[in-house]
């Protein structure tokens, strides 16, 4: 069976940045399961997987515009440290905040004196990403999965 819209795809993947550093991998953990054609994964990877079949491996390099977008320096903001109470803040810490369009991941990029600089860009924004991917399985999506736009069951988005 080939990968196309309305198929559920199970992948093993390793993600590296331009310097060859491994950013993420499914090896040793759960494979990635997604519904093809529903924007569950970044567009550059989804496009490259179309037409592939079970057992196929591929290497895909994805530019920022087909991954997590370019960095937006307007998403950097400096706020008073007192907003975090007694919490010990360090560069690299991440936490969720409520944004106008849902949860936003904020990364602490600087702590100086009484102020903290936060970055609301996606941690992978502005990066060219390389994926080493093996297609483990392809199956038809269920009607319920198509209605929800994501995968159910093991490895899926949620169970219900
Ligand atoms: Zn659902």
Q: What is the DSSP letter of 150?
A: S
The more confident residue out of 159 and 118 is 118
d(CA 67, CA 106): 19
CA of residue 66 to ligand 1 center, whole Å = 26
> Looking at residue 158, what is its pLDDT?
64
Report the pLDDT averaged over residues 6-26: 96
Measured in Å, residue 152 CA sits from the centre of ligand 1 at 6
Mean pLDDT (the chain) is: 93
Q: Which residues contact residue 151 at a Cβ distance below 8 angstroms, ignoring those fewer than 6 apart?
A: 8, 33, 34, 35, 40, 141, 145, 157
31, 12 Cβ separation under 8 angstroms: yes
Average pLDDT, stretch 35-51?
A: 96
More confident residue, 153 or 118: 118
Distance 22 CA to ligand 1 centre (A): 31
The CA distance from 130 to 117, in Å, is 29
What is the pTM (predicted TM-score) of this model? 0.81
pLDDT band at 98 (very low <50, low <70, confident <90, very high): confident
For ligand 1, a single-atom ion, the residues with CB < 5 A are: 148
What confidence tens digit (pLDDT) does each residue in 133-151 have? Answer: 999 999 999 999 999 999 9
Q: Looking at residue 7, what is its pLDDT? A: 97
Q: 130 CA to middle of ligand 1, Å? A: 29
pLDDT, position 160: 62
Tell which phi-psi region holds residue 59, choosing left (phi > 0), alpha (psi between -120 and 50) or beta: beta
Q: What contacts 124, CB < 8 A, 6 or more positions away?
A: 23, 67, 68
Between strands 94-99 and 7-16, the pairing is unpaired
In angstroms, the CA 67 to CA 24 distance is 14
CA distances from 72 to 44, 77, 121 (A): 20, 11, 7
Q: Do strands 102-112 and 115-119 pair parallel, antiparallel, or not at all (unpaired)? A: antiparallel
Distance (angstroms) between ligand 1 centre and the Cα of 157 equals 7
């Amino acid at each position: 069976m080939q990968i196309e819209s309305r198929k559920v795809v199970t992948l093993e993947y390793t993600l590296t940045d331009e310097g060859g550093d491994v950013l993420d991998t499914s090896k040793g953990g759960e494979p990635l399961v997604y519904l093809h054609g529903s924007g569950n994964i970044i567009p550059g990877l989804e496009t490259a997987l179309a037409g592939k079949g079970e057992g196929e491996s591929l290497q895909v390099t994805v530019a920022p515009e087909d991954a997590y977008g370019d960095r937006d320096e307007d998403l950097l903001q400096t706020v008073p440290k007192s907003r975090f109470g007694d919490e010990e803040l360090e560069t690299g810490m991440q936490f969720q905040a409520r944004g106008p369009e849902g949860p936003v991941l904020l990364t602490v990029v600087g702590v100086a004196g009484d102020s903290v600089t936060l970055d609301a860009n996606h941690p992978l924004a502005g990066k060219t990403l390389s994926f080493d991917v093996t297609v483990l399985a392809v199956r038809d999506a269920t009607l319920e999965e198509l209605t929800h736009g994501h995968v159910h069951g093991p490895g899926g988005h949620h169970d219900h």
